[in-house]
Amino acid sequence: MDNNELIPTIPDDISENSVLVVKRKKKRKKHFFFKRLLCFVLIMGLCYFVYRNLNEIKVMANKIVDKFSSGNNNEPSFDSSIIDSDSLSSDSGVVSPPEDIFTIPSDAFEIISNTGNFTEISNEAEISLDFDYSNSHILANDIYKQYGNEAPVVLIIHSACREAYSNGSYYYTDDSFYSNENNISLVGKIICDTLNDNNINTIHIDDIFANGSIYNSNVEFEKALNQALKMYPSISYVFDVSRDIIINDDLSMNKMVSNINGKDIAQIKLIIGSSSDENKTFWHKNLSFASKLAENNSDLVYDVTLSKFELTQNISPISMRIDVGAFSNSIDEAILAGNELALRICNLLCQG
């Protein structure tokens, strides 16, 4: 017997089938891997989209909720953070208040006046404040030398343009409360005019972003800010002028007031955005400038707060939010405060 006859032979067609099976398995594994990778990329892309458009999604969700709730109740619903543009009066610039807006019980109509003096930074972000506070600002003349004498130095803008003052009442709902003659945009105009009158070129944007919605006004606010900075690269200071609201547990309200030159003036709070990323040091300059402004004017500026959030202050040179008084202050107290603040900013930018 030939020895070769003892060795089993594999037909050619069977060996080829085995190779094909192995190739198919490899191909399936490869396809499975790419499918999982594609799913991961799609999920990450969706998460990023939601993160970037969170404000718009909130607005859409609120609209859907409002639609269903109004349909079920057969009554008009009102979100106090959103006022439709249709309610704007074309001739008076007044927003008519809704009929069903809340009122506070009469036994809570109490406004308490307080006076504060800046002593130390309120570090809500709980980050280290151990850094160099020197060279905290840019002089106006240095900006003019670089860009020309007509170049704007300061931008006044409002992330919440409809914030109004109570004018001594706890809460009321007549048309004057929503007028441009009683809200934060008038205070911004006073600050702008005073700065311009004292040779600090200033621009004032008093647009109402997203019809006053607290959910997506920041998106439009950031777009307007970027556009202004691109149009005027000389802008070195951005002040987001706003006002506070201080309500106690017993529904009484606080207002911060200082007597300066024999007049009651709303006191001011400076709010600085922060970042947990150590590479982003934008808030160092902002906090340094705010601290210097507060230390020299502790009768006017009673608080400097380092916030947990960036507050869109990372895209501009020196930026901060300025709360001129609170809801419980009168517009007259706020106007006097805006004028006084502008004069003191002038001294800082002109003299160092």
pLDDT of 69 above 50: no
Of 333 and 315, the structure prediction assigns the larger pLDDT to 333
Which residue from 334, 277, 261, 335 is spatially nearest to 310, judged by alpha carbons? 277
With a threshold of 0.75, does the pTM exceed it? no
Torsion of CA 70, 71, 73, 77, to 10 degrees: 10
pLDDT of 238 above 90: yes
Tokens of 224: 């307007």
Which residue from 168, 162, 161, 175 is spatially nearest to 101, judged by alpha carbons? 175
pLDDT band, residue 132 (cuts 50/70/90): confident
Lowest mean pLDDT among 15-19, 73-77, 113-117: 73-77
Of 89 and 140, the structure prediction assigns the larger pLDDT to 140
pLDDT of residue 99: 39
Phi/psi of residue 218, each to 5°? -65, -30
Spatial separation of the C-alpha atoms in residues 183 and 83, rounded to whole Å: 15
Distances in Å between the Cα of 186 and the Cα atoms of 63, 95, 103, 240, 293 are 30, 15, 25, 13, 22
Tell me if residue 186 falls in helix, strand or coil: helix
Of 269 and 185, the structure prediction assigns the larger pLDDT to 269
Mean pLDDT score, 330-336: 92
Neighbours of 337 (CB within 10 A): 30
Lowest mean pLDDT among 109-123, 206-220, 324-338: 206-220
Provide the b/e sequence for 177-214 (b: ≥16 CB within 10 Å).
bbbbebbbbbbbbbbbbbbbebebbbbbbbebbbbbbb
pLDDT of 246 above 50: yes
pLDDT of residue 216: 55
User: What value does the mean pLDDT of the chain take?
Assistant: 75
Tell me if residue 273 falls in helix, strand or coil: coil
Of 204 and 316, the structure prediction assigns the larger pLDDT to 204
Spatial separation of the C-alpha atoms in residues 204 and 194, rounded to whole Å: 12
In sequence order, which ranges of the chain are alpha helices (DSSP H)? 12-52, 54-73, 140-147, 184-197, 217-231, 282-296, 331-351
Write down the residue that tokens 């709730």 correspond to.
69
pLDDT of 269 above 80: yes
Looking at this protein, which amino acid is placed at residue 216? N
Of 212 and 349, the structure prediction assigns the larger pLDDT to 349
Q: What is the rounded radius of gyration, in angstroms, for the C-alpha atoms of the chain?
A: 30
Domain 89-351 falls in which CATH fold? Aminopeptidase (3.40.630)
Lowest mean pLDDT among 30-39, 210-219, 242-251: 210-219
pLDDT of residue 106: 43
Tokens of 335: 């106007």
Spatial separation of the C-alpha atoms in residues 177 and 231, rounded to whole Å: 34
pLDDT of residue 229: 92
Lowest mean pLDDT among 42-56, 131-145, 161-175: 161-175
